[in-house]
Homo-oligomer: A and B are copies of this chain.
Amino acid sequence: MDLKRSDLLQGTLDLLILKTIEHRPLHGYAMAQRILETSREVLAVQQGSLYPALHRLERKGLIAAEWREAESKRMAKFYSLTPSGRTQLAEEMDQWQRYARAIQWVLQAEGAAS
């Protein structure tokens, strides 16, 4: 069964993560849930995609981690945006709009001149 090869559009995960913690820190598990909710069940972030992405973003200094107690009373690693993460988020949102608009233009282009 290879009907769908991907749950995500490759290259958009960083954007989704950064956006999801824009206003408050969250731990990884909660981010995935939040993305699933806000995308109305369309974007299912797998754990094997999520955690490597978080480590990547942390290495780049775009997010910062802190161990705190979650609502569940268990320890979890909360990530928040750093200043440069905030800049990056703005850039990636621009990029996304730019690409999405461009693709829309191609999809709407007239069959055109024979």
The interface of chain A, by Cβ under 8 A from chain B, is 4, 6, 9-12, 15-16, 19-20, 22-24, 35, 38-40, 42-43, 93, 95-96, 98-107, 109, 111-112, 114
**From A89, which residue of chain B is reached at the shortest CB distance?**
B107
- Residues on B with C-beta less than 8 A from A107 are 15, 19, 93, 96
Distance in angstroms from A95 CB to nearest chain B CB is 8
Copies in the complex: 2
The reply to whether A100 and B100 form a contact with Cβ atoms under 8 Å apart is yes
- For the complex, give the distance between the alpha carbons of A96 and B38 in Å: 17
CA distance A8 to B23 in the complex (A): 29
Contacts of A100 in B (CB 8 A): 100, 103-104
Nearest 8 CB-CB pairings of A with B:
A23-B111, A10-B10, A42-B102, A39-B102, A38-B109, A38-B106, A10-B11, A9-B99
Contact B103 A43 (CB under 8 A): yes
Contact assessment for A105 and B39 in the assembled complex, using a CB-CB cutoff below 8 Å: yes
Of the candidates B11, B40, B112, the one whose C-beta lies within 8 Å of that of A105 is B40
Contact, CB under 8 Å: B106 / A24: no
